[in-house]
Chain A
Amino acid sequence: SAVISQKPSRDICQRGTSLTIQCQVDSQVTMMFWYRQQPGQSLTLIATANQGSEATYESGFVIDKFPISRPNLTFSTLTVSNMSPEDSSIYLCSVGYDSGNTIYFGEGSWLTVV
């Protein structure tokens, strides 16, 4: 399995500000994704982070609000822009390999917007 490190692990943010979350993997991976888990809820896919090109967003998520970068096969960032209390969630990075192995998750970045 992959070792996935996310930073920050937790943060308290002021409304109207933006925060960038980093995801670092210990090996090259084919697939990287970002998920959101609102308090007490299940996980929802935000977008697929594509290496060297623009991310692919799911319905309900837009690039202006959640810009994503993926400069190489081991690193990605997710920015949560112009935050409001409704953005208080766990943001999770997940990765997969093209060999058909499964999808692994990081420990998440727990954001509280006040």
Chain B
Amino acid sequence: GESVGLHLPTLSVQEGDNSIINCAYSNSASDYFIWYKQESGKGPQFIIDIRSNMDKRQGQRVTVLLNKTVKHLSLQIAATQPGDSAVYFCAENKGDYKLSFGAGTTVTVRA
């Protein structure tokens, strides 16, 4: 079965609010995680990544948190905008940069 999964398939958020997308993984030996954004009709777009020697990493309006104790990954989006509406995937490195993807969370931003 899949080693990476997302807690909720959909998330509706008010424009301007913060979004939190969660992901659980099962392989405690995983050393690298990536978040992707996929808009309708497009390929996955890299958002942010984190290695297992880190707990937190920040980008532009996004933060990824890694809790290795409970094997949990989250993506926080600050001040969510309509352009953030998309499907978000977490991905785990199975080894040699072969990625295992979670089911995806659909984020809908309400105006």
* Residue ranges of A at the interface with B (Cβ–Cβ < 8 Å): 1, 31, 33, 35, 41-45, 48, 58, 90, 92, 94, 96, 102-108
Contact = CB atoms under 8 A, between A and B. Distances in A.
A51 B36 CA distance: 26
A107 B46 contact: no
B104 A42 contact: yes
A45 B98 contact: yes
A2 to B, nearest CB: 10
A33 B96 CA distance: 11
Q: DSSP class of B's interface residues: helix, strand, loop or mixed?
A: strand
Q: How large is the interface on B (under 10, 10 to 19, 20 to 34, 35 or more residues)?
A: 20 to 34
B43 A107 contact: yes
B99 A45 contact: yes
Interface of B: 2, 34, 36, 42-46, 49, 89, 91, 96-104
Residue among A35, A44, A102 with the most chain B CB within 10 A?
A: A102
B46 A108 contact: no
A106 B43 contact: yes
Contacts of B102: 42
B31 to A, nearest CB: 11
Given A31-B97, A103-B99, A107-B42, 16 more contacts: A1-B46, A42-B2, A42-B89, A43-B99, A43-B101, A45-B98, A45-B99, A90-B43, A92-B44, A96-B97, A102-B46, A103-B46, A104-B46, A105-B44, A105-B46, A107-B43
